[in-house]
Amino acid sequence: MEEHIREAEVKDIKRLESFLAQANVSCDGVADHIEFYSLLETRNGNLKACIGIEPAGSAGLLRSFVLSPGTSQGDVLLLFDRVVAMAEKKQLNALYLATNKEQAASFFQNMGFQKTEDLPVSLYKNSHMKQALDVDNCIVMKMPL
């Protein structure tokens, strides 16, 4: 089935929150930053994957990267490229992420992220980043834009 990627809109909030909830991913902040989300949909309009950015000053926190089973590697790369282009368009100067999974860290390293311990003050104030930093084995990564 053919898929397409597009920027999320206000009308997508409920559907996106439901998709994230099914994946046990927090929906906090989605409505406030819906214009920073990209969606991968089937031709029938079913959500297959999403990724979002929570802006914090001139930095962005990558979050809500959720993939349905069977999402192709090509679609994952296109979705990721789309969110990076969005961050650049919105004039963010770096993307950050936090994970406690080595496999995820390896994937993001291949996408251009590097491990870092230096965070901008704006991210230390971010509630999602605060939560992530409290998780055991938390790895913080940065991609300059």
pLDDT in tens, 67-102: 999 999 999 999 999 999 999 999 999 999 999 889
Q: Which regions in the chain score pLDDT beneath 70?
A: 1
Q: How far apart are CA 107 and CA 112, in angstroms?
A: 9
Q: What is the pTM of this model?
A: 0.91
Q: Which of 67, 86, 84 is nearest to 19 (CA)?
A: 67
pLDDT value at position 131? 84
Please name each of the domains of the chain with its CATH number: 3-144 (3.40.630.30)
